[in-house]
Amino acid sequence: MIFQDMAAYRAASHAPRVAIVGGGVAGITIARKLDARGIPCVLFEAGGEEITEESQDFYKGVTVGDQYFDLDVTRLRYLGGSSNHWAGWCRVLDAYDFEPKSWIPNSGWPIRHADIEPFLDETRSILGLREFKPTHALTDNFGRMDLIKSDPVRFGMQFRDELEASRNVAVVLNTTVLELAGNGKAVTGAKLYSAGAPAGDFTAPYFVVATGGLENSRLLLWSNAQSNGAVVPNARALGRYWMEHPMYWAGNAFITNRDALEFDEDGECFMIPTPEALERRGLANFHIQLETMPYHGTKKMIAEMACYAPRLTEWVASAIGAHLQCSARVHIDWEQPPIESNHIALSQTERDAAGVPRMELHWKKGDLDRKTLVESMRMFGEEIALKDIGRLHISDWVLNGEDWPTDMELAGNHHMGGTRMGTDPATSVVDADSRVHGMENLYVAGSSVYSTAGQCTPTTTLTALSLRLGDHLARTVAS
């Protein structure tokens, strides 16, 4: 069932057991899981079925620190959420990513890869994926990673007809949950705003907050402020440990053994370091993307390098006749460590049209970010030279410790952390079942529960975690 506003929904006399706040990847996945188990639920989507300026305006905010995307552009506020601009890159976190690392404070999850494995077949079915190929060694310290570019699933369109036909799931569009109310042990209700006006209160036995990797924190921070801490009673970590995947073009490579790197049909190769290499150098996880260039691009690169890298240019000139097979841009993406100071806060001066404080994202890259960038590039350059695969020229801005470039990709639009999963309420917001510490009926879904970011895109793992939460909720409600 799909309703255009709260008034239409109230007229239907639907009685949900679970209220899901947010109609993106996590919210829709959980609703479908509950539907399959015959459990009635309501899904509140703040936007409609199409993007509008009025709806996006609610997402405006400011970033304090490093340059970042506009907060009303990096995410989308309509049915399907940010899956509506997802590029389709898929990779699930490796077992290593769930483990704590002694050199990265606050790293590690309270669950392991084995806890999401039962849901990976269903995840692949939802996202239209084949099974991921195992990573295999290319050099002593790097392996070839299988990163799948799927046909991006727009969840609002893909599952609209199914949601419309469901008798268990009620999707209520154009309806915002402004705040949750609680008594320090459970959520007691929600205050709604629908079709541009206050829409009264709503209650349900269970609530799931699934509004996105930024908005989850804003909703819970505001709810806590309004309820004197009765919604997230252990709130020290709320909004904190926020993470992204910084990504930059950091160098150029000349390849003399293209077959050794196993480029795909698009002329790309994705490589990840071994866990042992990361531990030896004390680095966060990362991946290297090689993007091959046509021959005229190679000639242009050689000409440009002649002045500032004469030794490398001499090597290229000697190799170009019989050995040089291609050149490639070298991109690097890495996981940010979970740092408490990277956090989401409520504006003290700006409010949205419904009167809720706008967001402030406090975000800076730190010492481990810089170390990971520099040392990973050095390690990659050493590795391909040692194996006589090619030579790497690292960009000057990387080696010289210059300011972070502002004319590159910046990051992946991957919003992780803020309501992170853990066992200690001092450094986490939800437990291993995604339930808010100390609350009987409040859960959080989506990439905001990420404890550690890993080096890969979040959507695949996010979907598996949502299926896991949906399964847990179905069993909890049924009992």
Closest CA to 328 of 273, 286, 288, 371: 288
- 384 and 299 in a common domain: yes
Same domain flag for 432 and 447: yes
Which residues have C-beta within 8 Å of that of residue 46, sequence separation ≥ 6?
A: 22, 55, 58, 77, 174, 175, 176, 177, 211
- Determine the length of the chain: 479
Q: Using DSSP, state whether 456 is helix, strand or coil.
A: coil
- What does the block give as tokens for 296? 């005229």
pLDDT at 391 over 90: no
In a domain, 429, yes or no: yes
Residue 204 lies in a domain: yes
Rounded distance between C-alpha atoms, residue 170 and residue 164, angstroms: 8
With cut-offs at 50, 70 and 90, classify the pLDDT of residue 479: confident
Q: Mean of the pLDDT values across residues 91-100?
A: 96
Lowest mean pLDDT among 60-74, 99-113, 285-299: 285-299
Within 15-74, strands assigned E span 18-21, 41-44, 61-65
260 and 156 in a common domain: no
121 located within any domain: yes
Residue range 1-26: average pLDDT?
96
CA 353/CA 154 separation, integer angstroms: 27
Both 184 and 279 in one domain: the answer is: no
Structural domain harbouring 382: 246-334+367-399
Do 449 and 329 lie in a common domain? no
pLDDT 10s digits, 282-339? 999 999 999 987 654 555 555 555 445 556 555 555 555 545 556 889 999 999 999 9
DSSP-assigned states of every residue in 117-139: GGGHHHHHHHHT-PPPPPPEESS
Q: Are residues 239 and 386 in the same domain?
A: no
Average pLDDT of 75-103? Answer: 95
Across 232-338, where does the E strand assignment appear? 246-255, 268-273, 286-293, 326-334
Do the Cβ atoms of 82 and 24 come closer than 8 Å?
yes
Q: Could you tell me if residue 455 is inside a domain?
A: yes
Same-domain check for residues 274 and 258:
yes
Nearest residue to 32 via CA among 127, 120, 159, 203? 159
- Record the pTM: 0.92
Residue range 57-73: average pLDDT? 97
State whether 279 and 426 are in the same domain.
Answer: no
Q: Are the CB atoms for 175 and 298 separated by under 8 Å?
A: no
- 3-state SS, 233-245, equals CCCCCCCECCECC
Residues 259 and 158 in one domain: no
pLDDT above 90: residue 388? no
